[in-house]
Amino acid sequence: MSPAGGTRPRARTRYGVVEGRLEEGGIHVFRGIPYAAPPVGTLRFAAPRPPAAWDGVRDAGAFGPTAPKAPYPDRYASLLPDPQIPGDDCLNLNVWTPDPSPGAGLPVMVWIHGGALTRGSSAVPVYDGSAFARDGVVLVSFNYRLGVLGYGVFPDAPANRGLLDQIAALTWVRDNIGAFGGDPGRVTVFGESAGAISVGALMAAPGAAGLFARAVMQSGPPEVLPRERTRPMVRRMASLLKVPATAKAFTAAALPDLLAAQAAVLRRSGPVTGGPAFGLVADPDSLPEDPAAAVACAVPLLAGWTAEEYRLWLAPTGAMRVLDRMGPLAVELARVRSGKDRAAVRALRADLPGAGPADLAGHLLTDRLLRDPLRRLAAARRPAPTHLYEFRWPSGVPGLGACHALELGFVFDTLHKPESAWLAGPDAPQALADEMHAAWVGFAAAGDPGWAPWDGDGPPKVFGGPSWEERDAQRAVGVTP
């Protein structure tokens, strides 16, 4: 509903009326709507609670507070925008809609941001939902608790609190999205990296059953971490804070001290180096089944990866140069860690003529972390429809190639945002964004991204480069793609 004679749209949620903004192109945007109570005080490590109702009209013109987090290290801060908005009410969401009329029945897409479950937010400009609304989709994005607040394992607190936040946000969508023109029966949940891992968990979580009809996993497989890998994070933080490793003790600690301790322990882990990390764990209440098994017969799925995921992890740190200096030893260590045999390395060399040790090692590690798990997932899901893709366009930023997270500006059709150029560089091709964004819209609207589901044998759909058939034909005549 809208105020008589006004230009600011309003919608009535179960907790009260919110007033958004009418933006360019007739897009109605509502930002910073609480979907759960602020996780402060005794709620810092508790399961999410419903937000308090309000009287009158609540302004929804600006992004709400982001979840507490430590900033990215300098080497990544120039590539990955990560706004920090202070405030306690961080469990909030945003809605972009072309038509906030109740009963419009539009498809809905719910975005879960990445950031290794320790960083990121819905306020990242690359995640602007205007293009989805322009194309007839109601786009929802939200924040959830990160790091130790969302995924620290304690004996006196529920596990997977960040996942519980995500379920609470999806429950809000089910109960309220009709007031913004969305159809709660046509919800697609999608995410990248840690967001994709979260999507896999949601497909397995009993609390999320029935909350969405389709799913998209970008560069993240379904996984749970063993508790022996996650517990050391809390124990190390407790040692730095000089308190017991309990939620009660961590609740009493000042938030800046928690974040400083978290930043210190995070320096010892990473996607390539491994080690202790914050992550989802098996839990009888929130995640009783391994997501990799549970999603096999779940909702229709769109999933894929970028051709050179590893370059975001290795190039900014200088690790590519180190691995090249190590030579064959780097390739052998990556082979052992990836579980590949030497025949697989020979095949990789043949497939990537001229690739140096760092690239070969990076591809092996990417296979282990992303490509192989997603291929296994697609194979296990048959006959459930799974559409696979690979993103190949190389960044204009030297050294990044077709790296992890590069596809985001194309999926959201936000290449015009200055922050998109941080990762993509200048002059990213709008035609590729048109193609990729349309595929995501088509999947959300009708389950069809524009190519056939994977049949268990063929290659994935390629974005931003020659198809597999074209690449093979080029190599047959001596041309390196």
Distance from C-alpha of 478 to C-alpha of 57, rounded to nearest angstrom: 67
The residue annotated as part of the active site, out of 19, 192, 309, 419, is 309
Distance from C-alpha of 422 to C-alpha of 406, rounded to nearest angstrom: 10
Is 404 among the residues known to form the active site?
Answer: yes
Distance from C-alpha of 4 to C-alpha of 200, rounded to nearest angstrom: 44
* Burial status of residue 273 (CB atoms within 10 A of its CB: 0-12, 13-18, 19 or more): exposed
In order, the DSSP letters of 65-102 are PPPP-PPPPHHHHTTS-------S---EEEEEES---T
Q: Which of 127, 132, 122 is nearest to 92 (CA)?
A: 122
* Burial status of residue 14 (CB atoms within 10 A of its CB: 0-12, 13-18, 19 or more): exposed
Distance from C-alpha of 259 to C-alpha of 273, rounded to nearest angstrom: 22
Q: Which two tokens stand for residue 410?
A: 């194309």
Is 309 among the residues known to form the active site?
Answer: yes
The residue annotated as part of the active site, out of 404, 407, 419, 420, is 404
Between the CA of residue 438 and those of 141, 259, 354, 397, what are the distances in Å? Answer: 19, 39, 35, 25
User: CA 218, 445, 213: angle at the middle one, nearest 5?
Assistant: 65
- For residue 186, give the H/E element and its range: strand 182-192
Which residues is 283 bridged to in the sheet?
287
The residue annotated as part of the active site, out of 101, 130, 141, 193, is 193
Q: At what angle do helices 255-266 and 227-241 cross, to 10 degrees?
A: 130
Residue pointed to by tokens 């999507």: 199
Q: Which of 97, 162, 169 is nearest to 129 (CA)?
A: 97
User: CA 284, 290, 294: angle at the middle one, nearest 5?
Assistant: 105
Is 28 among the residues known to form the active site?
Answer: no
Q: What number of CA atoms fall less than 13 Å from residue 108's CA on the CB side?
A: 29
Q: Which of 322, 327, 353, 304 is nearest to 480 (CA)?
A: 353
Active site residues: 193, 309, 404
